[in-house]
Amino acid sequence: MKKVVIIGSGLAGSIVAYYLGQQVEITILTKGTRGDSNSMLAQGGIAAVLSPKDKKESHIRDTLIAGEFHNSRIAVNFLVENGPEVIKDLIHSGLIFDRDESGNLSFGLEGAHSFSRIVHSGGDRTGKNVTEFVQNKLSSKIKWIESAMAVSWKVNNNKVTGLSYLDSEENIQMIDADIFVLASGGVGQLFNLTTNDKTVTGDGLAMTIRAEGKLTDLEFLQFHPTLLSVENKIPPILISEAVRGAGAVLISGRGDKIMIGRHPKENLAPRDVVSRVVNEYIKKGDKVYLDISMVKNFETRFPFISDYLLSINVPFQVTKKIPIQPGMHFLMGGIKTTLKGETSLKNLYAVGEVACTGVHGANRLASNSLLEILAFGRSVAHSILKESLDRKNKRENLDTLIEQINPKEIPFNLPEREILIQKVSNSLGIVRKRSEVCEFIQWLKRYQFEFLPEKISKENLETANLCLVSEKIALAILKRKISLGAHYIIQEENELQ
């Protein structure tokens, strides 16, 4: 039986396992528990043309406009065509989405969509509901390896034949398979303010960089405009865009509506536009709030956010205001993949946020990410099932597995994680300057993180991965001299001459 190893237990890894079914032997290896992922945190919902009044052309157009036409049109067509089919399939299998009084699917509106097309499950608990539903449907024959951190690929002649990982005791282990599916998510933890889960540290990207796999579009990072802003190191959770979709308005500390005159869609402008405006106010020392006085039944529509605000004593029920700030949210670029999820390395598929299918272009349209996972996750599984096993290239000798681990005692020397994150946040954030990006690259040159030592802790491995990925992001930023979508670069005086 074909052996498939999936790395990551978010929706991407889980949906591939779901569609692979029982025709292959599956192992899911994940860094924390199976519940640790960005997927479990997704609030707004899934964008899909499911209403008879909506049109696929409209969803395609909205996606392309948000992505500044940097998207792959073929991938966008594939997304809009296939995503709704998978949603219907999951509904058929028992997944419950929220419905109105007449029993029809209830559709929310989010930024830059020209139609209310966001389906949700359990209000703002969509990600948790959908991910758990899929995981609960998985076969009991699947082998789960939790608290296991993938370290590096074994590559022979451009083929991935094995994987090393750190087990819960931080001992290195090896695993072989016919096919590997990378679903390890994005890079949120590179920044000091992020919506992302603590396990999301760019590991899969770093592993693939070390194995010389092809990555693309790394300069396109999406910053979400509305993370909760409270003192005392309380995690800055996301205040979903669906809150603005339901009528909330961004206001300054003085009560001015800050999006007026900044974009025709005002509060529902694309995220990069809103993030820059909010950033501008905060950089001036002002505060920014979401005025929720126009949102009816806030507590019932947004139960997760309401419970959280109450638990940390934010008096939103009285003030009708939620203090916010922008933060790192989503990586549009990643490992370059085909519509089937194939990467430039044979036997390696990538899916979800770690992959770049070309769907999002320079800026992701709200709630298109979960849809992408469903559409492309099913496609990856079907492709694996169809692919005939290349027996000649079957499992390699595992004795030589740790190839990217430094055999020649090349120095390994890391910066302090906090300093790295501060530097990344200052130089690779919402507004970029070439001089600051160059300075960051120079600073990083003091350290050695490309080759890994034979023995390494999870903490150091994460830091090394963050260094490597941030270096590639910085280089991608320098290559794109003109602003586009979420990549916003200020022309400095010496560049204008």
Ligand X SMILES: Cc1cc2nc3c(=O)[nH]c(=O)nc-3n(C[C@H](O)[C@H](O)[C@H](O)COP(=O)(O)OP(=O)(O)OC[C@H]3O[C@@H](n4cnc5c(N)ncnc54)[C@H](O)[C@@H]3O)c2cc1C
271 in active site: yes
83 interacts with ligand X by CB under 6 A: no
Kindly state the smallest distance separating residue 41's Cβ from ligand X, in Å: 4
27 interacts with ligand X by CB under 6 A: no
| CA proximity to 86, closest of 31, 27, 25, 18 | 18
Candidate ranges 170-178, 196-204, 248-256, 278-286; the one touching ligand X (CB under 6 A): 196-204
Kindly state the smallest distance separating residue 285's Cβ from ligand X, in Å: 27
Kindly state the smallest distance separating residue 219's Cβ from ligand X, in Å: 18
37 interacts with ligand X by CB under 6 A: yes
Among positions 86, 200, 250, 277, the unique one binding ligand X when judged by CB under 6 A: 200
| Residue 106 or 437 with smaller CB distance to ligand X | 106
Token output for 31 = 């860094």
Among positions 2, 32, 81, 137, the unique one binding ligand X when judged by CB under 6 A: 32
Kindly state the smallest distance separating residue 491's Cβ from ligand X, in Å: 31
Among positions 71, 189, 195, 463, the unique one binding ligand X when judged by CB under 6 A: 195
Query: For residues 218-257, which are near ligand X according to CB under 6 A?
Result: 238
380 interacts with ligand X by CB under 6 A: no
Among positions 24, 50, 119, 149, the unique one binding ligand X when judged by CB under 6 A: 149
Candidate ranges 154-162, 192-200, 284-292, 401-409; the one touching ligand X (CB under 6 A): 192-200
Among positions 27, 39, 164, 427, the unique one binding ligand X when judged by CB under 6 A: 39
127 interacts with ligand X by CB under 6 A: yes
According to DSSP, the β-strands at 348-350 and 179-182 are parallel
Kindly state the smallest distance separating residue 85's Cβ from ligand X, in Å: 17
Among positions 6, 10, 178, 236, the unique one binding ligand X when judged by CB under 6 A: 10
Among positions 267, 338, 343, 367, the unique one binding ligand X when judged by CB under 6 A: 367
31 interacts with ligand X by CB under 6 A: yes
Selecting among 210, 271, 364, 378, the annotated active-site residue is: 271
Q: How many chain residues are in contact with ligand X, going by CB under 6 A? A: 44
327 interacts with ligand X by CB under 6 A: no
Candidate ranges 191-199, 271-279, 318-326, 480-488; the one touching ligand X (CB under 6 A): 191-199
369 interacts with ligand X by CB under 6 A: yes
Instruction: List residues with catalytic annotation.
Output: 271
Binding site for ligand X (CB under 6 A): 7-13, 29-32, 36-39, 41-46, 126-127, 149-150, 183-185, 195-197, 199-200, 203-204, 238, 330, 352-353, 367-370, 373
